[in-house]
Structure 1
Amino acid sequence: MPRETKLILCPLNLRHIKVEYNAYDEAVEMAQRRGAKLIVATVAPEIERNLNIYDSDKYWGDELRKFVAAHPAEGVDVEYVVRKGATHRQIVKLADERNVDVIVMESANPKVSDYLLGTTASHVVTHAECSVYVVRG
């Protein structure tokens, strides 16, 4: 009997989102098929390099909402989460805290084609307690 999927986490790197968002499309489709809730998350840097960003939680939260508005998740309950810190650690921590059933994420920075699996995805696959579905670009 297949496991029930109630909560899906899809971490997005908004710096590369114009180039690659296959994992988001997969996560939305999976949530639609399984009737699951979708957490769309991004991890902001602890210290912003762009001095025009005064409130990174608000800025990146707004960017997440703009992205989802441009790529609607029809019929899916979507929650937005912004975290700060090391991306690979924050994804695993969020998945553990929220008792996520599956993480759906990109394999690597789309500009890094030499790697089989990006360092963030590799860490998440190794340390997450839940299933991890890695989408290759």
Structure 2
Amino acid sequence: MARQTKLILCPINLRHAQVEHHAYMEAVEMARRRQAKLIVATIAPEIERNLNIYNSDTYWGQQLRKFVNDNPASGVPEIEMVVRKGAVHRQIVKLADERKVDLIVMEAANPKVKDYLLGTTASHVVTHAECSVYVVRS
């Protein structure tokens, strides 16, 4: 018997979201078909390189809201947006564990890095996540 998917996590790298967001579209479709809740998360750096960003939680929260508004998830029963700080690979796994996520849907690699078979972030998440991970190749 197939497991029921009730909670899907889709981490978004907002620095590359304007270029690629295939994983988000896949996550939305999966959440719609399964009538699952979707958590869309972004991981902010602990120390901002851009000195114009005074409050990174607020800044990245606004950017995430804008991304979700620009890419509507119609038919998905519930969407939650989460901003975390820290190492991307660790924060994705930590969030998935804390929230008891059933499935993580994420991009394979930085869209500018075509040399890797699987990106280091995706590799870490696949190796360390307790739940299933669906990796979308761009």
Q: TM-score range by the shorter chain?
A: over 0.9
How far apart, in 2, do the equivalents of 1:103 and 1:80 lie? 14
Per the alignment, residue 112 of structure 1 pairs with 113
Per the alignment, residue 79 of structure 2 pairs with 78
Per the alignment, residue 37 of structure 2 pairs with 37
SS in 1 for 2:122: helix
Per the alignment, residue 131 of structure 2 pairs with 130
Per the alignment, residue 46 of structure 2 pairs with 46
Root-mean-square deviation over aligned CA pairs: 0.4
Identity among equivalent pairs (%): 80
Normalised by the length of structure 1, the TM-score is 0.99
Per the alignment, residue 26 of structure 1 pairs with 26
Q: CA deviation at 1:75?
A: 2.1
Deviations 1:76-123 (A, max 9, x none): 211000000000000000000000000000000000000000000000
Deviating above 6 A after TM superposition, structure 1's stretches of 4 or more consecutive aligned residues are none
* 1:101 partnered with 2:93: no
How far apart, in 1, do the equivalents of 2:58 and 2:131 lie? 29
Per the alignment, residue 5 of structure 2 pairs with 5
How far apart, in 2, do the equivalents of 1:18 and 1:46 lie? 22
How far apart, in 2, do the equivalents of 1:30 and 1:102 lie? 10
How far apart, in 1, do the equivalents of 2:79 and 2:55 lie? 22
Structure 1 unpaired stretches of 5+: none
How far apart, in 1, do the equivalents of 2:137 and 2:108 lie? 5
How far apart, in 2, do the equivalents of 1:135 and 1:68 lie? 19
Q: CA deviation at 1:36?
A: 0.2
